[in-house]
Structure 1
Amino acid sequence: MDELSLFTDGSVNTQNKLGYGAYLALTEDEFSLPIAALKARVTVQKFEQTSSTKLELQTLLWALAELPDAIEQLTVYTDSQNIVNLAARRERFEAHDYHSKKGLPLRNAELYRSFFEVSDRLQFKLVKVEGHKPMRKRNQIDQLFALVDKASRKARRAKK
């Protein structure tokens, strides 16, 4: 498989700490498929005892683990500012052994470690998508991202 695009998003109920992550993986040829066909391919998973930051990482790591091994080029689309900024924070995380300035372990340290391990292995490109754009302002990438956004929110609302 030459090139793959991965769209990930999550939606969490902060009161019960229950969240749903969703992803859609597409080859370049599949971008032209009808939206209805692509909507049916979105995969959703439940995550318990999570937060919005944690859920975005859990969802991305789960989605990456589900992908085939033979990917030459991978682009990940997310609306998570935290994920997009992780590479810039890596040096400090590792220099302080994933502890805060006060010496406390970082809340999502194991997920950050896993992210960097997978990132090193897969060498994917991260693209920040602006979530929740009005329909008239959406390009093709935004429309595809909206599929995972809607799927995760729908799952969360259905499973209160």
Structure 2
Amino acid sequence: MDTQSKVGYGAYLAVSETDVSLSELKQRVKIKRFEQTSSTRLELQTLLWALGDISLLNHHITIYTDSQNIIGLPARRHRLEQNKYHSSQGKLLKNYLLYQQFYQWTDQFDCQLIKVTGHQPTTQKETLDQFFSLVDKASRKALREDLRHREDG
């Protein structure tokens, strides 16, 4: 996420079988550019894009994320809906549409959210962490290339 340009890249990897090589999985990582975003918004936009892309109704989906915001959304749901997505100061929350879509889609899909620790040293990475690292590296690489391209252009 580049805070100056408000451009960020989201990435996801859908894995249904775990006996695939990392090099093959690297080819499956999907990347998308988002504009006029923030880090919190980018996390939600990426998850919703991935769920829309996958669209496996009536299937169990396990979502691994390092986003504390996403992990905390189920616990915040009652309060957000009760307050009609307004802050304690009465202002409509910036990401309220994304929150509504998140709740709608996680109701439709059988979703389980699992918090992972991002940015671990390679020596401490297990298979799941290696999957997560592929996605993280792909989005950061796309952003670096985007920034370099804008500087050159």
- TM-score for both structures, normalised by structure 1: 0.89
Map of 2:66 onto structure 1: 79
SS in 2 for 1:32: coil
Name the amino acid aligned to 2:81.
E
- 1:32 shift after superposition: 1.4
Structure 2: runs of 5+ lacking an equivalent: 148-153
- 1:73 shift after superposition: 1.4
The structure 1 segments of at least 4 consecutive aligned residues displaced by more than 2 Å after TM superposition are 68-72
Q: Where do 1:120-159 residues align within 5 Å?
A: 120-159=107-146
- Structure 1 or 2: more strand by fraction: 1
- Structure 1 or 2: more helix by fraction: 2
Tell me whether 1:23 sits opposite 2:12 in the alignment.
yes
Q: RMSD of the TM alignment (CA)?
A: 0.9
Count of matched residue pairs:
147
Name the amino acid aligned to 1:20.
Y
Name the amino acid aligned to 2:131.
L
SS in 1 for 2:15: strand
- TM-score for both structures, normalised by structure 2: 0.93
Identical amino acids, percent of aligned pairs: 50
Structure 1: runs of 5+ lacking an equivalent: 1-11
Tell me whether 1:51 sits opposite 2:21 in the alignment.
no
Map of 2:151 onto structure 1: none
